[in-house]
Amino acid sequence: MDGEGKKCFEKAPYRAWYRMVENYSRRTLTFEKDKLPAVAGIVEEFKSIITDKPLLGLWQGDLLTGLLWQTAEPTTRIEHTGIPSWSWASVNGPVNWQNTGVVNSGTPPKNQAEVMTSNIEWSGHPMTSQIKHATLKVRGRLKRAKLSKFGATKGNSFYLHAIDESISNPP
């Protein structure tokens, strides 16, 4: 990584990561299965700068924001890779964090949830081998919401609308 890129990562590391992923996800790969191996080197460099644990294209230290990714247009799920649906790398198409407000402001989400456990088992070297097993356990508050289809678009475009401000505590 050149000096300018490293400065950007050091100043606002997670924001820089999300912007890089947004750019990368717009690219077309010859083989879908290469999505994570193609960023393995960047992950290693990033890891050395922020000392954080990578979780299939997301980061343990900023996981609540990382999980707020959304598809930028109708996408398809990448099959037979073992990548879980909570990772942006599980879809074939552009993703973003644009509507979260969190990435642009640099302010992390309120503590409405916590990561209880995360585990990824690889068949060989992390990021470049097959995923054997991946789990993520998150504990948080519940809010009543309504799922509705958004406009007359191709694919499955849905929005989740909060019904009220009540939030229940987790068990």
Residue among 162, 117, 157 at smallest CA distance from 135: 117
User: How many other β-carbons are positioned within 10 Å of the β-carbon of residue 40?
Assistant: 15
What is the signed CA dihedral for 136, 96, 12, 118, rounded to 10 degrees?
0
Q: What is the domain range of residue 117? A: 3-168
Task: Give the range among 33-37, 50-54, 70-74 with minimum mean pLDDT.
Answer: 70-74
Structure confidence at residue 137 (pLDDT): 94
Question: Whole-prediction pTM value?
Answer: 0.77
pLDDT tens-digit readout, 2-20: 666 566 666 788 988 999 9
Give dist(CA 43, CA 149) in Å, integer: 35
pLDDT tens sequence across 138-153: 988 777 778 777 655 5
Helices (H), the chain: 3-11, 13-25, 40-50, 63-66, 102-105
What would the mean pLDDT of 20-48 be, rounded to a whole number? Answer: 90
Predicted confidence band at 111 (pLDDT cuts at 50, 70, 90)?
Answer: low
Domain count, the chain: 1
Residue 108 has pLDDT above 60, yes or no: no
Residue 87's pLDDT band, with cuts at 50, 70 and 90, is very high
Do 68 and 97 touch, CB atoms closer than 8 A? yes
- By the 8 A CB rule, do 36 and 88 touch? no
pLDDT for residue 128 is more than 80: yes
CB 48 within 8 A of CB 9: no
